[in-house]
Structure 1
Amino acid sequence: MPEPVIVTCAPTGGIHTPTMSPHLPVTPDEIASAAIEAAEAGAAIIHLHARNPETGKPDPRPELFQQFMPRIANACDAVLNVSTGGGLGMSREERLRAAVATSPEMASLNVGSLNFGIFPMLGKYSRWKHDWEPEFLEMTRDFVFKNTFSDLEYIVKELGQGHGTKFEFECYDLGHLYNLAWLIDQGWIEPPFFVQMVFGVLGGVGADLDNLMHMHTIADKLFGDSYEWSVLAAGRHQMSFATQAAMLGGNLRVGLEDSLFIGRGELAPSNAAQVRKIRGVVESLGYELATPSQARERLGLKGGDHVAL
């Protein structure tokens, strides 16, 4: 029998802006509620970012994370995964602040630099809630999301070796899989590895099924039976790629970080609604969803009682 599908939910992220959806969680209360509801709907892992509660802008301050992470942990058993991607334009030190302060079970790690273009979204809106939003999108026209080998070494040693944190290795292109293989070859990280394949971001690999199949094939060659793999796809590709991942025996990620929609032209009313939708698809295919305890065992996590909340 295939193993249960690990569902990750990313409630808010650092890409979409408040103008784009009234349902995007911004305040600590909103993020906590969205995360708890997603966990109750079936998400085993919650991938967390923070935002300035006044403006909705991505915010790296650990004190904001501390306003919602304990509340989530007290309300459910989901694995809390703290982003080290932060917000586009943040320094490496800013991106790491929350993870270093909270010593989480998991943290995301983007395994390579790339042109990260979200400026095409400028053309979809004529009025903005906040002045920072169009400026934030426009700056990505001339922006490189920096994740050098020096950055990767620093982060896996600081968080992995220093805190016992395991990683959601976010791979936006084929070369990122080889970057991860290089980190493994250095002996800096131990299996099992959780590989999150990311499709449909401008600057990364396109949301084409052939790309998914090829990246899965190469990951199998590189990591053998030492890894768990998951798929996320941006925007309209979210549900179809999540479904393909489940059908291929992988895991998946949904959430308003990756797509604001739940259907063609229909804004998702909540993160939990996306989790419930993909849960229905997965279960209709004859698969089960993994519990948080099953996810912890398969990913080799240290447990929720070893974090700094």
Structure 2
Amino acid sequence: MSKRRPVIITCAITGAIHTPSMSPHLPASSDTIISSAVAAAEAGAAILHLHARNDETGQPDQSIGGFGRIVPQIAAQTDAVLNLTTGGSPYMTVEERVQPAERFAPQLASLNMGSMNMGLFPMQSRYPDLEGWEKAHLEDSRDLVFRNSYKDIDYVLDTCRDNGTRFEFECYDTAHLYNLAHFADKGAVKPPFFVQTVFGLLGGIGAHPDDIAHMRRTALRLFGDDMVWSALGAGAHQMRVAATVVSGGGHVRVGLEDSLWAGPGVLAASNADQVTTVKALIETLGCRVASAKEACDILALPPRQEVE
């Protein structure tokens, strides 16, 4: 029997897209983010993709203080790789977004590889009773460009360079793969490239199997063996995209940042539940779940620094 391929599960715990009123299970405070992250790691997630939120309002919080309330506590309770977002929220500047990665020097940080329209407003039809910041969060995205210019990307790379932090390169469309190739060609980033392809968000590429195949084919042509390929499907696309990607030799990302759902009309009860579901899928497809140590080896991550 051939050795089973290890598949890295990333779990994106809360993100900056969904709002607290959309699901009672969305971690929207420091305490719930911590407990949900630890449970996801215990369920099999090798990487925890982290955002912070304001404890009073549940709004995205990219401050050092916000991350200071969650990062040390999660690090103390799990050996999972902590992946701090530099994407933050589309409403934030790059200077705001990079602060936590600069301060906490994580093994891994996310980095969006291009600008895009970020259309959250179609969700209004499903959540007509939202008020205050939650309503504006969706409505204002009709005129929202999620800026990730070449200057912005350089700024994140330069700011984190002395930390030794490596990156999860988030690519929402084909052009973002070419942007990554540009930075690779000029020596600004080094392999292996952890390429996280994102499917099904309005403003990015769709989630049709042809879209997945096109992104995979383009990424393989550009990066070949220098790439570690992973993918996520937004919303209802989550597990179908995961199945397609694992079948194609890739790694997967799940979590309540990307989808609030466990099935048609059924809210996911936790991040750990989604991890458990995708773990079963991975094993059904003849692979196995990678440990945190294996993820570090596959991605050539530096040792975790002490978090204070």
For Structure 1 versus Structure 2, the TM-score category normalised by the shorter chain is over 0.9
Contact 1:104 1:307 (8 Å CA) reproduced: no
What do residues 191-234 of structure 1 show as CA deviations (whole Å, max 9, x unaligned)? 11100000001010011110111111111111010110101010
| Secondary structure of residue in 2 paired with 1:224 | helix
What do residues 222-275 of structure 1 show as CA deviations (whole Å, max 9, x unaligned)? 101011010101000000101111111100000000000011110000000000
| Number of the residue aligned with 1:126 | 128
Distance in structure 2 (CA, Å) of the matches to 1:25 and 1:104: 21
Contact 2:4 2:286 (8 Å CA) reproduced: no
| Number of the residue aligned with 2:81 | 79
1:107-186 equivalent positions in 2, closer than 5 A: 107-128=109-130, 131-159=132-160, 161-186=161-186
| Number of the residue aligned with 1:211 | 211
1:98 aligned to 2:67? no
| Number of the residue aligned with 1:44 | 46
Q: Over aligned residues, Cα RMSD in angstroms?
A: 1.0
| Secondary structure of residue in 2 paired with 1:274 | helix
1:174-253 equivalent positions in 2, closer than 5 A: 174-253=174-253
Letter of the structure 2 residue corresponding to residue 115 of structure 1: N
| Number of the residue aligned with 1:285 | 285
Distance in structure 1 (CA, Å) of the matches to 2:133 and 2:260: 20
| Number of the residue aligned with 1:32 | 34
Question: Displacement, 1:62?
Answer: 1.1
What do residues 116-143 of structure 1 show as CA deviations (whole Å, max 9, x unaligned)? 1001111212323x51001111111001
Distance in structure 1 (CA, Å) of the matches to 2:294 and 2:265: 35
Q: Calculate percent identity across the aligned residue pairs.
A: 51
Unaligned 5+ residue runs, structure 1? none
Contact 1:112 1:179 (8 Å CA) reproduced: yes
Question: Displacement, 1:57?
Answer: 0.5
Distance in structure 1 (CA, Å) of the matches to 2:128 and 2:91: 24
Size of the aligned set, in residue pairs, is: 306
Distance in structure 1 (CA, Å) of the matches to 2:208 and 2:306: 38
Moved segments of 4+, more than 6 Å: none
| Number of the residue aligned with 1:266 | 266
Question: Displacement, 1:307?
Answer: 5.0
Contact 1:254 1:275 (8 Å CA) reproduced: yes
Question: Displacement, 1:68?
Answer: 1.3
Distance in structure 1 (CA, Å) of the matches to 2:61 and 2:183: 28
Distance in structure 1 (CA, Å) of the matches to 2:153 and 2:89: 17
Letter of the structure 2 residue corresponding to residue 16 of structure 1: H
Question: Displacement, 1:308?
Answer: 4.2
| Number of the residue aligned with 2:14 | 12
Distance in structure 1 (CA, Å) of the matches to 2:146 and 2:5: 34
Distance in structure 2 (CA, Å) of the matches to 1:32 and 1:125: 27
